[in-house]
Amino acid sequence: MLTIRRLYLYAMSGVMLVVLASGLRLLLSVLLDTLGLAGDPALGGGSTRETLSLAGALVGVGLPVWAIHWWLVRRATLGGDAEAEAERASPIRAAYVSIVLAVTLAFMATAAIDVVRSILQEVLDLRPAYGSIGDPAGSIATILICGAAWGFHAWVRRVDLLAGPLSGGAVLWPRLYLYVAQLITLVAMTGAVSGFTNALADRIAAGGVAGFDDYANYTIPSALAVLAVAGALFLAHAVYTLRLVAEPGWRGESERRSHMRVGYLVILIGAGLSATIGGLGESLRGLLLVLLGAADGSLPPGGIARATIVPLVVLAPWLGAAVHARYQLLREAGRAPAPGRAAAGTRLDQHVRSLVGLGYGAVALAWLLGIALDALIGGDRYALGSGGRAFDLASFLPNAILGLAVWALAWARVTASRVANPDAEASSGIRRAALLAVLGAGLAASVGSAAFILYRVFGSALGVVGGPGVASELASAMGILVVAAAVALYHGLVVREDVRARAHPTDTTAAGIPVDLPSRAVPATPPPAGGERPLVLHADPGVDLDAALAAARAALPPGAHLVDARQPPTQ
């Protein structure tokens, strides 16, 4: 009953907040326009009063209805009794606040980007000759109203946190907001770096010609605006998170133990490493194209300098994010009091790096193998031009080398860990998930490419298809099959070794000699000393009794013996 009431109150508060905020935004933009923010028009005018009427209607309806519902919400948290505590700790309340924070932040950021872009266009004299531009009064109104709504709800959240510990959904939703906001602003920033760098390179390549270069005139200020706004928001949320992690109280403890935080850091490491390999590969591609004599028509405006430098600039923020995330992951895992957290952090780092490296390396290697096979079996993939093969080589070779190098370095660490701690590593859920993911992907690619090969082979045999085009298709598919099957086979063998290791865990004595332990886990408390229990070993027809007895004896803990009543004791 309370849940339904809560859902109603927060849903109505949310809907009315949208109505109220829309009206306030219009109101403020009318005020700013009337005060002459956009200047005096040369022609036209007259929509102010109509807009004001609409704004008044929205505020007139939205304000009382929102105020009543929010007053009821507030009243439910007062009193300090169990009901008030339940309201404060409600996941519905946390979800509502988090959604409001996210939506208002998104609108604020968009409007701020418009304002900053307009300022930069004026300051840098980069106005496009023709195009749509922002509405300064509307953008400033959006920033102020959404900023006020964000601040109000952040304050509501702060009051809830100061009242005492929270758990479950009451912390998960705001945490989700925090990490999603950081991820989105980071992606926006890196996209802006790419847009700005490419537009600047285009401008430089064109000789810095001034004039109606609308693309550069729009892209450069836009990218700088996104970089400024998204960068500020990312830094603000990241600094807040780092302070939260360092807090000694329940909030810091909750954040440090959070799986969502670990997942966020792992995503940053994976995405950052992926962008780094991709960017380095693109940079090396330019050099290879020149070395292979296939640079004509393949390089972007600006030539080899642009082809090698721009990708390095673009990957820089991702590399920075990945390095910082890795540092945080390992540091926090190493400081965690819970046993095994340090090892788990190291495992995550090693496996995500090996997965990313393998992804790039295996895919590129498969394509390179396909190119080689295409040349061997006489395919016509490159029949139209002589530069195609060189272009593909230059595209895939750097990724193959970089990807496999990253994988090899990470996998060496994984293997070393496995040798040093066989039981712990073989039992690790992280290791198992990574291995099975690779095994699954390898099998899927193998099956898919094998099916395609059979399809083409049958088609050729039946006279449906034929010719050099088919040979090229088969070459690509065979390249994928060989690499995918090898990856699947290798990782399948590793999985099998782990299964065996879990069934027969190994421990080392003080002298370092491996001693087999029983496959059952040794109980934490010692078994009762002494005693005998007569048993009867029964076997169905066809079962070897002696073998069954031997297996039972092998499973006994030290100090326990099975005595065959018909024979002398064997242990």
Binding-site ranges for another protein (CB under 8 A): 20, 24, 26-31, 33-36, 38-52, 54-59, 63, 67, 70-71, 74, 125, 127-135, 138, 152, 155, 159, 212
* SS3 label, residue 507: strand
Q: Tally the C-alpha atoms within 13 A of residue 325's C-alpha that lie toward its C-beta.
A: 27
CB of 90 to another protein, least distance (A): 17
Alpha-carbon distance of 1 to 87, in angstroms, equals 13
Asked whether 243 and 227 are in contact (CB, 8 A), the reply is no
CB of 59 to another protein, least distance (A): 6
Q: Which of 91, 131, 312, 332 is nearest to 216 (CA)?
A: 131
- 74 phi/psi in degrees, rounded to 5: -60, -45
Nearer to another protein, 212 or 458 (CB): 212
Buried b (16+ CB within 10 A) or exposed e, 268-296: bbbbbbbbbbbbbbbbbbbebbbebebbe
* SS3 label, residue 175: helix
Nearer to another protein, 130 or 536 (CB): 130
CB of 176 to another protein, least distance (A): 25
Q: How many CB atoms lie within 10 A of CB 366?
A: 25
CB of 216 to another protein, least distance (A): 15
Nearer to another protein, 152 or 455 (CB): 152
Rg (CA), the chain: 33
Nearer to another protein, 72 or 287 (CB): 72
β-strand pairing of 514-516 with 506-508: antiparallel
CB of 53 to another protein, least distance (A): 9
CB of 103 to another protein, least distance (A): 18
| 428-436: long-range pairs with CB below 8 Å, 24+ | 428/344, 428/347, 430/344, 430/347, 430/348, 430/351, 431/347, 431/351, 431/498, 432/495, 432/498, 434/351, 434/354, 434/355, 435/491, 435/494, 435/495, 435/498, 436/495
Nearer to another protein, 132 or 525 (CB): 132
CB of 164 to another protein, least distance (A): 16
CA angle 194, 312, 324 (to 5 degrees): 90
CB of 10 to another protein, least distance (A): 16
Nearer to another protein, 26 or 397 (CB): 26
* SS3 label, residue 542: coil
Q: Which of 276, 484, 474, 292 is nearest to 392 (CA)?
A: 292
Nearer to another protein, 74 or 331 (CB): 74
- 391 phi/psi in degrees, rounded to 5: -65, -45
Structure tokens belonging to residue 569 = 């004791």
Asked whether 269 and 353 are in contact (CB, 8 A), the reply is yes
Nearer to another protein, 128 or 191 (CB): 128
CB of 15 to another protein, least distance (A): 13
Alpha-carbon distance of 330 to 202, in angstroms, equals 41
**DSSP summary character for residue 514:** E
Which residue type, as a one-letter code, is found at position 145?
Answer: I
Alpha-carbon distance of 332 to 325, in angstroms, equals 10
CA angle 458, 464, 470 (to 5 degrees): 75
CB of 78 to another protein, least distance (A): 8
Nearer to another protein, 87 or 425 (CB): 87
Nearer to another protein, 53 or 570 (CB): 53
Nearer to another protein, 122 or 516 (CB): 122
Structure tokens belonging to residue 38 = 């956009």
CB of 39 to another protein, least distance (A): 6
Partners of residue 287 on adjacent β-strands? none
Partners of residue 507 on adjacent β-strands? 515
CB of 22 to another protein, least distance (A): 8
Asked whether 37 and 118 are in contact (CB, 8 A), the reply is no
**DSSP summary character for residue 516:** E
CB of 31 to another protein, least distance (A): 4
Q: What is the 3-state secondary structure (H, E, C) of 188-216?
A: HHHHHHHHHHHHHHHHHHCCCCCCCCHHH
Nearer to another protein, 27 or 481 (CB): 27
Asked whether 124 and 99 are in contact (CB, 8 A), the reply is no
Nearer to another protein, 65 or 336 (CB): 65
Nearer to another protein, 1 or 42 (CB): 42
CB of 138 to another protein, least distance (A): 6
